Chain A
């Protein structure tokens, strides 16, 4: 009898434990009407937490100083170690949430953090009318609801080139399309220059080469077809781009140490003129800015977007470009978080840009004087550019890993495409996308 009661007690305790451990991020808001407090209203005694990555934790410095002085609130930036997105997803899955966080504002990444349950909708944000019209709705939306505030110009995949190397070998104007770029590369190779530099060891940039080739297809609904299962990564469009990338590598148009080269090496190679071109995103230019001053960069480094049909860029907003506000369940702090965003994109915006020395997203606010020309060119490419896989696909598979495997020589383009498609289907299924 005694043993029987004990068994029941243990079973009851276990059941209780199980119930207590169900997904803590389960419930969330469904109402999307939002009130916006005045940006500089008093917030004495309120403290807010912002999660940031190692490369974005200094971004809000000036904004926070201004906001604290204007409202009396306290704002703390907590750095989440890399890999940032994984760290955040894990924390949020266990019920740990900040008030605000830097987050990639694409639909796939908003899905990945379960925006509908975890984030505050930012409907009718007060800064939207001030935004440049072509940038207003470029990203940050999931199924028509705004969840992210874009604070800096989103990254664009394109070609960074060394102007001096181009000039020294008689290339007077940047190529007008992908094939022309390959022709220029072949010319440069015959003159003993390494045309392209890729970082096979750090892996993540490998995907840009495939994505820029897909820009025209993306404009014609490639990602919609992939999202609904009508087309696959293994079909000719994507597979063809992967094969072309492989063919260019096999032709010897890339650095010979492509398998072992790292992100750092890539920046040094372009700046020193050891390589002529690098297909990269804005964070690459950030690396160059850490190595050289604006005058040197203006003299040496140029940027042009590229696609098979012309100079069309592929935009890929990243984590340092935008913030999301979490639904913490405490109305006062949730409102304060929205107020901070309104301050950031309102009264604090000019100072923020000056501190970061970056391009303005608002028509009434001018760019600070010291912004390098290449960054202005990147920003200018934005309105005409198309969304990347990250921006338009419902799930974000590790295309870069599969391409890096291909570069290392362990897989074929067909295998890389298949591995990407398999993972895409797995993620889409987990996200509840119909058809997977």
Chain B
């Protein structure tokens, strides 16, 4: 029993206390401007609620998370289906799609930022193919940049989704497939009526991790747009980072508490719903 003490001590100092402080400091006026830290009750929450920026950042965060969840699963699923058979080519291809997962998110962000500049590689390619100048600013469009950034995020993580869907596809029992074939189901029908439902656990995991992971996103957005243009991609973590940098530590803590609550609020229903789908198995 006592040999667990060091492990729990580390857990306490590095996980329990910081989480606890996240709650405590949200109710204080901790800032970089003065030394005292005084309790202020719900002042920070009232301030944030009266300021439109928090709600706009929350809305952007949820939109971003939803986009990433959709794109990442679409790409991952498509890749898994395409690369399912164990040929040599497929094995090599799987490795290549997994490489972005291992790359630094900041590196990915800066890479795409360079590619998507008005005079960057992507536009040069389009110009060459279309044989006319093309200088669309992919990351400076107040409407579509959030979609572009969500696509980049999904591109980075789609390899992981692919891997999990692949594992899911591999565990489908051969006898079930054989039974479907004997019953005369077409390949299309087998795919939709037998294999897809059996992937439910993989879908649960992938959707939940993509959704919740991107709600906590920061690095890719920071490296590509930094929250711009005109803050249309300013997800909550970037807003928190900016507030913290202003020396408003308590307000930043309050926001991260709000983010924590939001993630928790979204996680439970989403996971519950997806689990419900698995029950038919």
CB neighbours (8 Å) of A113 from chain B are 32
| Residue picked from B32, B51, B137, most chain A C-beta under 10 Å | B32
| Cα-based distance from A18 to B244 in the complex (angstroms) | 21
CB neighbours (8 Å) of A430 from chain B are 29, 31, 33, 247-248, 250-251
Decide yes or no: A201 and B140 within 8 Å by CB, A13-B12, A17-B13, A23-B35 being known contacts.
yes
Distance in Å from the Cβ of B229 to the closest Cβ of chain A?
5
Contact A409 B142 (CB under 8 A): yes
Contact A86 B244 (CB under 8 A): yes
CB neighbours (8 Å) of A164 from chain B are none
A246 at the B interface (CB under 8 A): no
Decide yes or no: A426 and B251 within 8 Å by CB, A18-B24, A201-B229 being known contacts.
yes
B130 at the A interface (CB under 8 A): no
Contact B231 A260 (CB under 8 A): no
Decide yes or no: A404 and B33 within 8 Å by CB, A426-B47, A427-B246, A430-B248 being known contacts.
no
Decide yes or no: A114 and B33 within 8 Å by CB, A17-B12, A260-B137 being known contacts.
yes
CB neighbours (8 Å) of A408 from chain B are 140, 142, 228-230
Contact A114 B35 (CB under 8 A): yes
CB neighbours (8 Å) of B30 from chain A are 23
| Cα-based distance from A259 to B145 in the complex (angstroms) | 14
Give the bracket for the number of chain A residues in contact with chain B: 35 or more
B82 at the A interface (CB under 8 A): no
CB neighbours (8 Å) of B34 from chain A are 114, 117, 431-432
Contact B246 A93 (CB under 8 A): no
Contact flags A387-414 to B (C-beta < 8 A → 1, else 0): 0000000000010010011001111000
Distance in Å from the Cβ of A396 to the closest Cβ of chain B?
8
Contact of B35 among A25, A203, A409 (CB under 8 A): A25
| Cα-based distance from A26 to B35 in the complex (angstroms) | 5
B46 at the A interface (CB under 8 A): no
The chain B residue with its CB closest to the CB of A262 is B117
CB neighbours (8 Å) of B232 from chain A are 410
Distance in Å from the Cβ of B138 to the closest Cβ of chain A?
10
Contact A89 B21 (CB under 8 A): no
| Cα-based distance from A273 to B53 in the complex (angstroms) | 40
The chain B residue with its CB closest to the CB of A203 is B228
| Cα-based distance from A28 to B36 in the complex (angstroms) | 12
Contact flags B210-233 to A (C-beta < 8 A → 1, else 0): 000000000000000000111110
A290 at the B interface (CB under 8 A): no
Distance in Å from the Cβ of B97 to the closest Cβ of chain A?
31
Which residues of chain B in 182-234 are interfacial with respect to chain A, using CB atoms and an 8 Å cutoff?
Answer: 228-232
B133 at the A interface (CB under 8 A): no
A111 at the B interface (CB under 8 A): yes
Contact B37 A23 (CB under 8 A): yes
Contact A14 B20 (CB under 8 A): yes
CB neighbours (8 Å) of B230 from chain A are 404-405, 408-411
Contact A28 B35 (CB under 8 A): yes
B249 at the A interface (CB under 8 A): yes
A22 at the B interface (CB under 8 A): yes
Contact A404 B247 (CB under 8 A): no
Distance in Å from the Cβ of A160 to the closest Cβ of chain B?
24
A85 at the B interface (CB under 8 A): yes
CB neighbours (8 Å) of A426 from chain B are 47, 248, 251
Which residues of chain B in 159-184 are interfacial with respect to chain A, using CB atoms and an 8 Å cutoff?
Answer: none
Contact of A92 among B32, B37, B248 (CB under 8 A): B32
A128 at the B interface (CB under 8 A): no
A27 at the B interface (CB under 8 A): yes
| Cα-based distance from A409 to B228 in the complex (angstroms) | 12
Contact A85 B137 (CB under 8 A): no
A112 at the B interface (CB under 8 A): yes
CB neighbours (8 Å) of B24 from chain A are 18
Which residues of chain A in 159-200 are interfacial with respect to chain B, using CB atoms and an 8 Å cutoff?
Answer: none
Given A111-B33, A117-B34, A430-B251, 7 new contacts (CB under 8 A):
A17-B12, A25-B35, A259-B140, A404-B228, A404-B230, A410-B231, A432-B34
Leading 9 A-B pairs by shortest Cβ distance: A86-B245, A408-B230, A410-B230, A431-B33, A405-B230, A430-B31, A260-B137, A26-B35, A260-B140
Complex A-B: 21 CB contacts under 8 Å:
A14-B12, A14-B20, A17-B17, A18-B20, A22-B37, A27-B35, A83-B245, A90-B244, A93-B249, A111-B33, A112-B33, A114-B32, A114-B33, A201-B228, A404-B228, A408-B142, A409-B142, A410-B231, A430-B29, A430-B31, A431-B34
Q: Which A residues have a C-beta under 8 Å from some C-beta of B?
A: 13-14, 17-18, 21-23, 25-28, 83, 85-86, 89-90, 92-93, 111-114, 117, 201, 203, 257, 259-260, 398, 401, 404-405, 408-411, 419, 422-423, 426-427, 430-432
